[in-house]
Amino acid sequence: MDYNKFFSADVPSFLRSPVREIFRKVDLSAICSFAGGYPAAVTFPTEQIPGLAATVLEKYGTKALQYGATQGVPELRQAIASRYGVPVSQVQITTSSQQGIDVCSRVFLDPGDIVLAKSPVYLGALQSFRAYRAEVMDIPSGDSTSLRSVPAPPTAYGSGPIPLHLSGGGQAPEGMPLTSAKFIYVIPDFNNPSGETMTLEEREEIVRIAREMDLLIVEDSPYRELRYSGEQVKTIRELAPERTLHLGSFSKIFAPGFRLGWIIGPEELLEQIYVCKQCLDLCPPVLDQYMACEFLESGALDANLEKTIAEYRRRRDLMLGLLEKYMPAGASWTHPEGGLFLWLTLPEGIDTVALYDEALSAGVAYVAGSFFYPDGSHRNTMRLNFSFIEESKMEPGIKLLAGLAANSLKHR
């Protein structure tokens, strides 16, 4: 039977994630893998879970097992609202912060719309935007005249400048596809994949651009609570609450198996997101929400977070030391103040995509940096994760990577 004719025109844009393909190639647990993006299992409050379940059922009874409100259970919404200092009406619970990205895509994007993003971009977001046939372009920089004509990336989306159809205003010029920029997407704190944090000035610039172009901002913030050094910077939501949807996640501060996140944003936007979410899954998992709420409200989350931060800080420092020790001249890397990733740039001419199979055979895995660029550029970069790899594998892994890089340099 030929099934192809049944698929929606959107299906070709449900690209298989190249990262997932990497995970399929080999049993990564058998080698030194910096490829994953998982939190360390040692940070999960594993022993506390059965007790949490018992407490929740004692406190809420069968309500914890029944259908719940589409916006999330009131107790958890209130706990999030209190933690971040916003009214409860500005909080929507999501079934994972990936769903937060997806629901924003679905509510705002039409085919041909543009999402402005700061490359390198989180792959799960790129996939979601592409599934709605939106195009991802770099956030314009420089003077305000450049804002109206943004150069399209050279591959995959055609080339040459595409006149932006500012949302709500005017028409695309004749002969040009109607394109409309709807929102800016950024991970300002400890970006996945680069590990970089935007300064206050950079955040203010994002807000200035969003206000000038009249765009929304989707501030994806799954790592914000994982800061190991430096000072916390204001969120973009704090700078522009009227146009920002701030996405939070329990995956890195509780456990990803709960699939819980939240959106903080203007009520008028959440109202549409709520109606859309009804169609998606009616409501987020209810027992999980009450367990997250209990974990947060009892103070256990903050106690666990302190231990998690100490653990990851140690791993980050270990990784930075090893890079310093082994990497050849010409290599550079980011020094993340938090999160799970750092970004390695090898000398020009080394191709981390082409190198990947050799790396696997040698016993080390990473994610090629070009996957995070909408135009597939930056082929000499890679994302390295320091949260999930066993510490004993860090040194052999970095040594292998350094050896591969040095060898590639010799044969250029």
Show contacts with its own copies in window 117-146 (CB under 8 A). Answer: 124, 127-128, 131
CA atoms within 13 A on the CB side of 35: 27
Is 57 among the residues that bind its own copies (CB under 8 A)?
A: yes
* Phi/psi of residue 410, nearest 5 degrees: -60, -40
List CB contacts of 371: < 8 A, sequence separation 6 or more: 18, 19, 123
- Hey, which residues between 372 and 411 contact its own copies (CB under 8 A)? none
**If binding is defined by CB under 8 A, does position 50 make contact with its own copies?**
yes
Within positions 83 to 102, which residues make up the interface with its own copies, using CB under 8 A? 95-96, 98-99, 102
Smaller CB separation from its own copies, 117 or 400 = 117
Query: Which of the residues 279 through 308 are near its own copies (CB under 8 A)?
Result: 279-288
Question: Beta partners for 247?
Answer: 220, 263
Q: Closer to its own copies by CB, 281 or 317: give it.
A: 281
Footprint on residues 175-194 left by its own copies (CB under 8 A): 182-183
Window 241 to 260, contacts with its own copies (CB under 8 A):
242-243, 251, 255-259
Beta-bridge partners for 137 = 116
Residues 22 and 357: beta-carbon distance below 8 Å: no
Nearer to its own copies, 127 or 334 (CB): 127
Nearer to its own copies, 49 or 300 (CB): 49
- Work out which of 25, 59, 66, 317 binds its own copies, going by CB under 8 A: 66
Q: Pick between residue 46 and residue 155 the one whose CB is nearest to its own copies.
A: 46
| 351 touching its own copies, by CB under 8 A | no
Instruction: Please provide residue 110's backbone torsions phi and psi, each rounded to the nearest 5 degrees.
Output: -110, 160
- How does DSSP classify residue 78? H
| Residue 102 or 337 with smaller CB distance to its own copies | 102
Q: How many residues bind its own copies (CB under 8 A)?
A: 79
> Which residues are within 8 A (CB) of 84 and not within 5 positions of it... i.e. 6 or more apart?
248, 264
341 pairs with which residues across the strands?
385
Tokens of residue 21, six digits: 């393909």
* Binding residue (CB under 8 A) for its own copies from 65, 200, 303, 354: 65
In the set 21, 25, 54, 234, which binds its own copies (CB under 8 A)? 54
DSSP-based three-state secondary structure for 268: helix
CB of 355 to its own copies, least distance (A): 26
* Three-state DSSP state, 358: helix
Rule CB under 8 A: is residue 81 a binding residue for its own copies?
no
Q: Which of 312, 315, 319, 310 shows the shortest CA–CA distance to 344?
A: 319
49 in contact with its own copies (CB under 8 A): yes
**Shortest distance in whole angstroms from residue 348 CB to its own copies:** 33
Interface mask toward its own copies for 20-39; x: CB under 8 A: x-----------------xx
CA pair distance 12, 58, nearest whole angstrom: 48
Exposed (0-12), middle (13-18) or buried (19+): which is 45, by Cβ within 10 Å?
A: middle
Cα 131 to Cα 18, 111, 187, 280, 335: the distances in Å are: 15, 9, 20, 16, 33
We find the least distance from the C-beta atom of residue 237 to its own copies, in angstroms, to be: 15
